[in-house]
Structure 1
Amino acid sequence: MTQYVRDIMTAAPVTVGPHTSVAQVARIMRDRDLGAVLVTDDGRLRGLVTDRDLVVRSIAEGVDPEETTVAGACSDDLVTVGPDDELDLAVRLMREHAVRRVPVVEGRHPVGVVSLGDVAMERDPRSALGDISVARPHT
């Protein structure tokens, strides 16, 4: 049976504008228990920023997180899929590009995100990655 991205993607992704501060994005990630948010400009996908991006591209550089915008921390050379693409395509792209999350777009407008954890839960919820993906975070 063919599976499609829309069947497992996280719909209604959290988005921020490119001028949002790194600190604000970090607070959104903390409060919403997210590892990544999409960066949009006028509703169009501009980038993806992960918690690791915030640390490596901003904090480690010694910038002021309240004064630095997420535009400089986000990845803007993105691999994307559409909601009607086969899930195998998303998995292949994750493997080829060594990414854990792929934005799902219609046109240039984000409609979701499919993650390695989503795939693990769909394919084998009892796998180690599946277990980790559903575990509550330690706070």
Structure 2
Amino acid sequence: MRVSEAMTRNVSIASPDHTIQEAARMMADIDAGVLPVGDNDRLVGMITDRDIAVRAVAAGQGPAARVGDVMTRDICYCFEDEDLDDVAHNLGEQQIRRIPVVDRNKRLVGILSLGDVAMMQQGPAGEALAGISRRGGMHTQTGNHSRAGNA
């Protein structure tokens, strides 16, 4: 199976010129903690909620700080036509939860998450990871959740 068969194609992309507040709002809107950063149709970095917290807020920068100043520039990516099992193995080896997917012209075409990989796997481990990776739930990025059971 190829990466293109498992990846998420509809990806929100931040610009290096966006503020970290704009990036944080985009993350909240899609209930995710990471966004690819693109400039002129090219992948130039990744911005995570951790980048915002550690590289910006902890360093005294405010919401007007630019994504390009705090994003991770040294990023891993994979190609859409690569074998999914090979990429999944590499994700595990490098302890990466999400990876941008590019075409052979290095244009961003999607993102692959552990949840995407899990949806393609059979068995209890794949089902558990797929459930954990599902949007929403108790640990949603936006804080909008409901608790089941006793509190």
- Amino acid of the structure 1 residue aligned with 2:93: E
User: Aligned-pair RMSD on alpha carbons?
Assistant: 1.7
Q: Deviations over 1:3-33 (max 9, x none)?
A: 1100110003111110110011001111222
Once the two structures are TM-superposed, the CA of residue 125 in structure 1 deviates from its matched residue by: 7.3
Partner SS for 1:91: helix
Query: CA 1:76–1:22 in structure 2 vs 1: closer, same or farther (change >3 Å)?
Result: same
**TM-score after normalising by structure 1:** 0.88
Q: Secondary structure at the match of 1:46?
A: strand
Indicate the residue corresponding to 2:110 in structure 1. 112
Is 1:90 aligned with 2:87? yes
Q: What secondary structure is seen at the aligned counterpart in 1 of 2:43? A: strand
**2-structure distance, mates of 1:125, 1:70:** 39
The structure 1 segments of at least 4 consecutive aligned residues displaced by more than 3 Å after TM superposition are 124-127
**What's the CA shift for 1:35?**
2.0
Q: Could you tell me which amino acid in structure 1 is paired with residue 82 of structure 2?
A: D
How many residues of Structure 1 are paired with residues of Structure 2 in the alignment? 136
Q: Contact conserved, 1:4 with 1:86, CA < 8 A, in 2?
A: yes
**CA offsets, 1:78-137, max 9 Å, x none?**
111111110012112212322111110012210000011111222147533221122523
**Aligned partners of 1:71, 1:30: CA distance in 2, in Å?**
19
The answer to whether the Cα contact below 8 Å between 1:38 and 1:48 also exists between their aligned partners in 2 is yes
Percent of pairs with identical residues: 35
Moved more, 28-37 or 105-114: 28-37
Offset from partner CA, 1:33-83 (integer Å, 9 cap, x none): 2221110111100011122222122122221122x1111222211111111
Aligned to 1:12, what secondary structure does the other structure show?
Answer: coil
Is 1:129 the equivalent of 2:126?
no
Is the radius of gyration larger for structure 1 or structure 2?
A: 2
- Distance, in Å, in 1 between the alignment partners of 2:128 and 2:70 is 30
Give the aligned partner of residue 7 of structure 1. 5
Could you tell me which amino acid in structure 2 is paired with residue 119 of structure 1?
Answer: V
Q: Is the 8 A contact 2:21 2:63 kept in 1?
A: yes
Structure 1: how far apart are the matches of 2:77 and 2:90?
A: 9
Structure 1: which 5+ runs fail to align? none
Gaps of 5+ in 2: 139-143, 145-151
Distance 2:77 2:135 in 1: 27
> In 1, Cα distance between the equivalents of 2:54 and 2:123?
31
CA gap of 1:91–1:135, structure 2 versus 1, over 3 A, is same
